[in-house]
Structure 1
């Protein structure tokens, strides 16, 4: 009898080497960077540099490190990553510190990878789960999704000063909540399909548990955290949401799996109508679309729509700038979202473009219906609306 060789099933979990979070920890950045590299380059934009330069410079001085700032170009393109990598090589830097939002941090990771040096994430907002991951999202100059770029390791350090997060506009935190809420929705779908994770292989129990924990923490703490950040306060709820948005969601999406929500996000970047939305705001439209597409129970969908509407996340096509567009615009979104390489194919059933189009189109009426039933204002521009949180939560 001929021998057969079965491919072994592998499961994988990846994570940053160290995660540090707390009020005022930016002042200690130098002591955490010193064991990683002796010649850091700090990639940041002009606004963040003005806010943090004195603290970072003093922190590096106390750690015996030089400091070199490099201004981020604004869009995480492949060309921008190459430019920064050339600067790293030119000045002999051995660690890139991405200081700012997700786009800056994704570019710092890409530049570090190209230059062959280590990298550190220092998010000043909790708007995405990019800081912890071993990948970057690459965009075109026009702001459309281009590709994922994967690395062999996660950042050596992720450091989050929660006072900086609380001092930032509340919309950043809300966007991060939208991004993080998708983590469990997508991970459980990928698990049902036995689909691959961004870490490679199948999800571990730990990866799935982290995705679910992010969801639970947000349902418990999101609304009080948003209220606190409106007043620039760091409360236990804010600390919990920052951890959920950054660490739990970051590890949960990467080691749990992505599905339709982020694929729809990628599709939404393909049309200019949605460019006023932040990453997590587009992801929330994707989460609702995925719930409809996978035929989640109606009560669960409506609870999710109401909860995210109360947070101020967009729950209708109108808020996304797509309320009165021709069908061809939506077809452009769907075509990009269902590209062969997209994560929407991690759903536990074959994905048909027409089904995705209908699910996306249904978001408008669904969102309006839920808002009317809950007594929320009619959808207009993306604004934050805070009312009482529903008590039920999705399984």
Structure 2
């Protein structure tokens, strides 16, 4: 009997709506994740502590741990605390740093992880990776995909608009990442996973073509779903290939050469737009440029707060951040002078398109 299907890891439940946090205890019980609330609740500064109090009535046997920073040291300390008691699950409540800290610690001891996201800044809410700071910089660590994902739009709405804008940039960059993967498949016969491509691209396409604003529930739901689909796509293929291409290489280079320039989502959004221009896909370039501009994301180095020369240096350095990855940047292998010429043409094309 031939194997006609494959098994993929996905969350047991995805709940994106207003008021979702109030039903967390019931959700854990109904899905048999934790019938008695024997969970470790991990919160960060800000909205996380407030949400933990709202959840407490339904999680009577929970322990609450407060973490700060999103560092490897904090994740290791949390892991040591989790090891002292038997928990049904770890519930990470907060933004990306808090969730990544909880994901790493939960994975270390094989405890199911539940994500309760208070922002939609990037696809870490569902991804099988945790990005943590350490003495040598920032590392990306493989972790288990969350067993459940809860996004309460009430708390997303109350957060900074810039976080939501960053999430838009991160989700849209999947279009460029997938194009880079397809390029590597054509040029170097790199294996490609069609299911991962479908999930990453379909979520980003839905966001790209959504007419709403970040104040609209329907748009926020589409954004949440796009970020979650990106995370699941990475889990399916076992790498970040469907969500990380030349766009992310440029962002990593900016982090190295110009730290503090912008948020991750702002940087990968700009990187995706420039990489799309380099690939000569002018139709997609126009779509991305319009969407990024409409939602207030930077489309030029100046809007990101750096000079053209600094951006050129980052693009030239970018392939060094992921030597194993083949993208349009490695394919073209442009020297700084030619990158500068392409950037000038890119800015001219932007002016023509955006007016």
**Contact preservation (8 Å) 1:315, 1:363:** no
Q: Number of residue pairs matched?
A: 339
Superposed, 1:36-51 pairs within 5 Å as: 36-37=33-34, 39-51=38-50
Residue 71 of structure 1 aligns with which residue?
66
**Contact preservation (8 Å) 2:248, 2:271:** yes
**Contact preservation (8 Å) 1:323, 1:364:** no
What whole-Å deviation, never above 9, does each CA across 1:179-209 have from its counterpart, x for those lacking one?
Answer: 01111221232134239xxxxx944433222
Whether 1:154 and 2:145 are equivalent positions in the alignment is yes
**Contact preservation (8 Å) 2:316, 2:335:** no
Residue 296 of structure 1 aligns with which residue?
280
**Structure with more helix by fraction:** 2
Deviation at 1:11, TM superposition (A): 8.7
Change (3 A) 1:276 1:158: same
Change (3 A) 1:188 1:218: same
Superposed, 1:96-135 pairs within 5 Å as: 96-135=90-129
Q: Distance in 2 between matches of 1:324 and 1:83?
A: 42
Deviation at 1:305, TM superposition (A): 2.1
* TM score, norm. by length of structure 2: 0.82
**Contact preservation (8 Å) 1:132, 1:155:** yes
Q: Distance in 1 between matches of 2:196 and 2:185?
A: 13
Residue 194 of structure 1 aligns with which residue?
185
Superposed, 1:245-394 pairs within 5 Å as: 246-254=227-235, 255=237, 257=242, 258-271=244-257, 273-293=258-278, 295-323=279-307, 331=313, 334-335=316-317, 337-339=318-320, 341-342=322-323, 345-347=325-327, 350-351=330-331, 354-355=334-335, 358-359=338-339, 362-363=342-343, 366-367=346-347, 370-371=350-351, 374-375=354-355
2:28 equivalent among 19, 22, 33: 33
What whole-Å deviation, never above 9, does each CA across 1:272-319 have from its counterpart, x for those lacking one?
Answer: x451522211111221232234x2233432442232122111111123
Please list every run of 5 or more consecutive structure 1 residues that lacks an aligned counterpart in the other structure.
Answer: 1-9, 196-200, 229-233, 376-395
**Contact preservation (8 Å) 1:11, 1:204:** no
Deviation at 1:101, TM superposition (A): 1.2
Change (3 A) 1:364 1:323: farther
1:183 equivalent among 174, 183, 186: 174
1:243 equivalent among 225, 229, 232: 225
Change (3 A) 1:85 1:188: same
Q: Distance in 2 between matches of 1:54 and 1:357?
A: 56
Q: Distance in 2 between matches of 1:361 and 1:253?
A: 34
2:14 equivalent among 14, 19, 40: 19
What whole-Å deviation, never above 9, does each CA across 1:198-222 have from its counterpart, x for those lacking one?
Answer: xxx944433222222112211222x
**Contact preservation (8 Å) 2:79, 2:105:** yes
**Contact preservation (8 Å) 1:261, 1:286:** yes
Change (3 A) 1:191 1:237: same
Q: Distance in 1 between matches of 2:340 and 2:86?
A: 49
SS at match of 1:86: helix
